[in-house]
Amino acid sequence: MKSLKLLIFSILLLIVSGLNAQNTAKYVFLFIGDGMGDNQIYATEIYKASLQGKMTPEPLVFSQFPVQSYAITTSADSWTTDSSASASAMATGNKVNNHEVGIDPVTGLNYKTLAEKAKEAGFKIGILSSVTIDHATPASFYAHEKSRGDYDKIALQIASSNFDFFGGGGVHSLGSIDDKNSVISSLTNNGYKYLTTAKEIENLKKGDTKIVAVNPGTYSGKEFYWEIDKNPKSISLAYFTKKSIEILDNDKGFFIMVEGGKIDWASHSNDLASAIHETIAFDNAIKEAIKFYNNNKNETLIIVTADHETGGLTLGSNVSKGLKLDLLQYQKVSAQEFERSLSQLKKLERKVSFEEVLDSVKLNFGLGDKEKGLELTKAEKKWLLEAYENEFVALKKINPDRDYLDHYSKKPLALRVVTILNTKAGIAWSTEGHTASKVPVKAIGVGEEYFKSTIDNTEINDIILKVMQISNKQ
Ligand SMILES: [Zn+2]
């Protein structure tokens, strides 16, 4: 009898531990599409379908995840969050103020992040972004700072995190104003390798640790080039994701955060074609995680979400003409690169005529091409002429190498061109900033059921820690 009881007890124990095992994920991916609301995703799906002449959207890989829900994004001090407050909420499980990174809004004390807790628990950690790794979203997983703009101070916290892999964009500067090399020396003093060539990145292998791998193809600000511009020097976010999986794969497990940072930047510029290409690149990175998931289904969780929506994107703003996203295929360059080509034209000795600028607009955006259905109206030409006179006659200086174009003042010529094309495609933007919309949350794998109803973005932290069986204590 005693042995029978013991047997039943053992069986029960096995069942219970089996159930627990079902809810335990050794490998967790958190993909954050910065500024990626429902309509940035849906526009990409309609665009892909339109190019094939289809009338049903062509779903991105993460749109096919079994769980599709939403997250509330309010910050501690605003209904409309910024990236640092939202990423900090996901990373720490606590609401923080806009522009602050991982600190208590009242006491100013640090909140420990889920990545820090996972590292302490023995998991390997990877932080990837297509913008700089000291930018607000990635920073929120390892740094604690009163102001997200204090890049020098944030970059110094990369080395002290002891995380295994940082990849994608670089850091804003390699040192502080006082010490031009302080970030690099902090990294090397703590055993990190700072890699900047394609060869070095390619040579990375399983088990390598304390790596900062920077895309050799970036702007001077160290963020990726625009996907739409297809710069041959650039390594894709998908490649960095694949490489991070290869390096971090181990029996204990890992946590990898991947940010598609420039969906937000394109949306701030109200440049839909560029946002669509960034979203496709982000989807390609997720495909790499799916490949890993397919081989490790019982131990992997993939979450895809956004920190906030940017731009208040509306699909179908033109009642009579409808939605024609296929017209965006004629945009061959990002607004930023177009503005750069204009600034090159401005440097010529001779006078650059308005007609010459219009030719370039036609070549790069199809605008003015009757056969493409993209004729310019008188009013549109007049609006472009005004910007031309501003930039080419009055010689107003516009710097295309800023984080993103000067979108809070009068639109420069490149952004006017993009606006005209977007309007003809039947889309509109309500703001050049963030909106307070809920953001999509999509999940597949162990613990996906925790995302079935609308959650607060802080719960992303709670759920990840729960499935990784890590204590949520500070
Ligand atoms: Zn953001």
Q: From ligand 1's centre to the CA of 424, what distance in Å?
A: 27
- For residue 230, CA distances in Å to 60, 80, 226, 227, 281 come to 20, 33, 7, 5, 11
Q: Is residue 11 part of a domain?
A: no
**What's the domain count of the chain?**
2
Distance between CA atoms of residues 400 and 422, nearest Å: 20
- Statement: the pTM of the whole predicted model exceeds 0.75: yes
Distance between CA atoms of residues 459 and 280, nearest Å: 27
Whether residue 118 is found in the same domain as residue 246: yes
Structure tokens at 36: 């990626």
- For residue 268, CA distances in Å to 46, 55, 261 come to 21, 28, 12
Q: pLDDT below 50 — which residues of the chain?
A: 13-20, 403-404, 408
pLDDT tens digits for 166-176?
999 999 888 87
Q: Is residue 337 part of a domain?
A: yes
Q: From ligand 1's centre to the CA of 367, what distance in Å?
A: 31
Do residues 261 and 134 touch, judged by C-beta distance below 8 A? no
Whether residue 277 is found in the same domain as residue 344: no
- For residue 287, CA distances in Å to 71, 292, 464 come to 22, 9, 20
Q: Is residue 54 part of a domain?
A: yes
Tokens 């070095």, residue located:
200
Q: From ligand 1's centre to the CA of 208, what distance in Å?
A: 30
Tokens 């000291």, residue located:
134
Whether residue 296 is found in the same domain as residue 357: no
Q: From ligand 1's centre to the CA of 214, what distance in Å?
A: 21
Whether residue 333 is found in the same domain as residue 302: no
Whether residue 295 is found in the same domain as residue 272: yes
Whether residue 206 is found in the same domain as residue 139: yes
Q: Is residue 7 part of a domain?
A: no
Q: From ligand 1's centre to the CA of 264, what distance in Å?
A: 6
Alpha helices in 296-399 (DSSP H): 335-346, 354-365, 378-388
Q: Is residue 163 part of a domain?
A: yes
Give the pLDDT score at 17.
46
Within 8 A by CB and 6+ apart from 59, the residues are 45
Q: How big is the chain, counted in residues? A: 474
Q: From ligand 1's centre to the CA of 36, what distance in Å?
A: 8
Distance between CA atoms of residues 326 and 286, nearest Å: 24
Q: From ligand 1's centre to the CA of 102, what distance in Å?
A: 15
Q: From ligand 1's centre to the CA of 32, what distance in Å?
A: 9
Q: Is residue 2 part of a domain?
A: no
Q: From ligand 1's centre to the CA of 296, what distance in Å?
A: 30
Do residues 88 and 104 touch, judged by C-beta distance below 8 A? no
Q: From ligand 1's centre to the CA of 438, what distance in Å?
A: 13
Do residues 104 and 147 touch, judged by C-beta distance below 8 A? no
Do residues 325 and 317 touch, judged by C-beta distance below 8 A? no
Whether residue 400 is found in the same domain as residue 253: no
Question: What is the β-pairing status of strands 434-435 and 309-310?
Answer: antiparallel
Q: From ligand 1's centre to the CA of 184, what distance in Å?
A: 26
Across-strand partners of 310? 434
Q: Which residues surround ligand 1, an ion (CB under 5 A)?
A: 34, 83, 264, 307
Do residues 204 and 213 touch, judged by C-beta distance below 8 A? yes
Distance between CA atoms of residues 187 and 166, nearest Å: 12
Whether residue 128 is found in the same domain as residue 277: yes
Q: From ligand 1's centre to the CA of 8, what distance in Å?
A: 53
Q: From ligand 1's centre to the CA of 34, what distance in Å?
A: 5
Q: From ligand 1's centre to the CA of 304, what distance in Å?
A: 14
Whether residue 223 is found in the same domain as residue 253: yes
Task: Give the DSSP H or E segment for 29.
Answer: strand 27-33
Q: From ligand 1's centre to the CA of 308, what distance in Å?
A: 6
Q: What domain range is 104 assigned to?
A: 25-314+433-468
Q: Is residue 5 part of a domain?
A: no
Give the pLDDT score at 19.
46
Give the pLDDT score at 54.
96
Give the pLDDT score at 347.
82
Whether residue 278 is found in the same domain as residue 159: yes
Within 8 A by CB and 6+ apart from 348, the residues are none
pLDDT tens digits for 229-270?
999 999 999 999 999 999 999 999 999 999 999 999 999 999
Give the pLDDT score at 407.
54
Whether residue 390 is found in the same domain as residue 461: no
Whether residue 374 is found in the same domain as residue 253: no
Residue 450, domain CATH: 3.40.720.10
Give the pLDDT score at 135.
97
